[in-house]
Amino acid sequence: MMLQNYFIIIFLLITQFIIAQNETDTLKLDWEDYNPPSTLVVPKTIITRAKFPFIDVHSHQWRMDEMDLNDLIRPMNEMNMGIMNNLSGRNGEKLKKMTDNIKKQFPNRFIVFANIELRSIDEPDWAVETVKQLEYDYNNGAKGLKIYKSQGMTNQDSKGNRIPIDDPRIDPIWLKCGELGIPVLIHSADPKSFWEPHDNQNERWLELKTHPRRKRTDMNSASWEQIISEQHHIFKKHPKTNFIAAHFGWHPNDLTKLGQLLDDMPNMYVEIGAIIAELGRQPRAANKFFEKYQDRVLFGKDSWKPREYPTYFRVLESDDEYFPYYKRYHAFWKMYGLALPDHILKKLYYKNALKIIPGLDMSLFPKD
């Protein structure tokens, strides 16, 4: 009997130890792993197809010179995408092969923007030859110019110096874009938080932990303020050229400041690629912004992942409350639908792009 009681006591002690250990393990749960589903019961609207056909001005397709474009058309049709803009058009013969492939398959559904190479900027004939290249690309169907963030952030000249994006040697290229009537979609810098200390005060802490190569310092590029100011300098210096600042010009978290910039630079436009979570967490401010600047915002997505587009549609079109973004390391907060009115949606989805990108097929979109 005593032996039986002994085993019972041992069993109870082990059980209590296991329970205590499990509780301790639960308390040790890492913050980045804590992501419980919400218990809030609210309407949920799944929008897999945009209300109006739209133009995605910010996409990247590296193999468009050789790929079967049906692989893109099928998901585009399903989500009501009218035109895809491939910003990775390269230049020269590579770009010509892309536009030739488009002409053979779906001539009115795809466009490409050309790219330039800054790292040879020290060569004495760089500006003249680059302008010639741009004209050649334009004649082969390029509808605009895309400037990557490396061009102004990490690209260096022959002496190892960073090439500022407002380097005066680039002025002839901006001027030529204005003469040709094509826009420049320019990505300068990254979110400002990438330059800030990686500590518990940084809203991008989790993203920088999971993607440490995104951490920036003034030493491995330039300051955020410097790069952004260089971008704005060329906008002001070349008022006859239309510039589309990628990712809301990295001011989606400060719409008042962005509005001031748009007021100050009439040739500046923005697109919403990769910043929809910022708009979704400030629905009242975002609605006011869209109301005032409805003629200056274009639709863009950036990463080509069709399964992610419904989140954009849900933020823009629904009045849903408190729903998640699809990448927690980008945005750990919840979002709210903007329920934009039709007249603003049409401008965002296609009208503004039709206005500043030449030669698009308008028959793909409503006439009103």
Domain count of the fold of the chain? 1
Residue 103 lies in a domain: yes
Question: Which phi and psi (to 5°) does residue 143 adopt?
Answer: -105, 0
Nearest 5°: the CA angle 326, 329, 333 is 70
pLDDT exceeds cutoff 60 at 17: no
Predicted local confidence at residue 12, as pLDDT: 52
The encoded tokens of residue 325 equal 């973004």
| pTM of the shown model | 0.92
Residue ranges making up the domain that contains 123? 51-310+340-364
DSSP codes joined into one string, 265-333: -TTEEEE-TT-HHHHHT-HHHHHHHHHHSTTSEE---BS--GGGHHHHHHHHH----SEE-S-TTT--S
For 40-73, how does the pLDDT look when each residue is reduced to its tens digit (9 = 90+)? Answer: 999 999 999 999 999 999 999 999 999 999 999 9
- Does residue 208 belong to any structural domain of this protein? yes
**What is the mean predicted confidence (pLDDT) over 136-156?**
95
The answer to the question of residue 349 being in a domain is yes
For residue 287, is it within any domain? yes
8 Å CB contact between 109 and 140: no
Classify residue 137: in a domain, yes or no: yes
**For residue 219, what pLDDT is reported?**
73
First-to-last C-alpha distance (Å) of the chain: 91
Within-domain flag for 329: no
Phi and psi angles of residue 128, each rounded to the nearest 5 degrees, phi first? -65, -45
The two structure tokens encoding residue 56 = 């995605």
Return the closest-CA partner of residue 193 out of 149, 253, 152: 253
Tell the residue number behind the tokens 């995605």, with chain if given.
Answer: 56
CATH number at residue 163: 3.20.20.140
User: In this model, does residue 23 exceed pLDDT 80?
Assistant: no
What φ, ψ does residue 114 adopt, rounded to 5°?
-80, 165
Rounded distance, CA 308 to CA 325, Å?
9
Reported for 67-70, long-range contacts at CB under 8 A and 24+ positions apart, including other chains, are: 67/101, 68/105, 69/101, 69/102, 69/105, 69/106, 69/109, 69/110, 70/105
CA distance 341 to 287: 10
Residue 173, domain member (yes or no): yes
- Determine, yes or no, domain membership for 44: no
Length of the chain in residues, anyone?
Answer: 368
Residue 157 · residue 122 · CB < 8 Å: yes
Residue 6 has pLDDT above 90, yes or no: no
**Residue 187 and residue 150 in contact, taking contact as beta carbons nearer than 8 Å:** no
How sure is the predictor about 33, in pLDDT bands with cuts at 50, 70 and 90? confident
